[in-house]
Structure 1
């Protein structure tokens, strides 16, 4: 049975507690830099954020894409992370942005 939003949150938080298990795509790092989102802000979102939208599979990779959201450092931030499946040991951040920004 596939994970619920809460199950994905729990898994991503667990993975993000060991920063070496999270990698960032070049696109994510570029977008974060231009949007003034720091690595510590991104990790705060991944460790304490919520998934409000239903996770979706990426058509190209088959990975599950989850959007974690949290108000941090004075801004509502979303971090989009891709995980291979419910048993993933690591995840990749594909983008991050200020919600409504």
Structure 2
């Protein structure tokens, strides 16, 4: 089976994030959220309405692809990095950061 296109991945992430139960946070992501004053609601909005801004890449430690969704939320240009294993709806949040600070 061919790899999904960036457009397919973006659509899948947006649709999956509509049910927030599909969004799982790694400990590292929770720590960065606290440190950077990012709320879960900000992450959900970035995933539900954001744009895929980097080329999805495989990670040998996990199945699926590492994807970065970005959106201007609550005064912050927020990037949320998630693992996606299509067609599964689960999205694992790896980290969050402000693009200005990148």
Provide the TM-score with structure 1 as the length reference.
Answer: 0.94
Does residue 1:12 correspond to 2:8, yes or no?
Answer: no
Flag as ranges the 4+ runs of structure 1 deviating above 6 A: none
Q: Offset at 1:71?
A: 0.7
Q: Distance in 2 between matches of 1:49 and 1:5?
A: 13
1:61 maps onto 2:62 in alignment: yes
1:89 aligns with 2:89: yes
3-state DSSP of counterpart to 2:3? coil
| Equivalent residue, structure 1, for 2:25 | 24
- What is the rounded CA distance, in whole Å, between the counterparts of 2:44 and 2:13 in structure 1? 10
Q: For structure 1, which runs of at least 5 residues remain unmatched after alignment?
A: none
CA distance in 1, matches of 2:37, 2:61: 29
Distance 1:97 1:45 in 2: 11
Deviations 1:60-90 (A, max 9, x none): 1132110000111011000000012x21121
| Alignment map for 1:34-45 (pairs within 5 Å) | 34-45=35-46
Number of residues paired by the alignment?
100
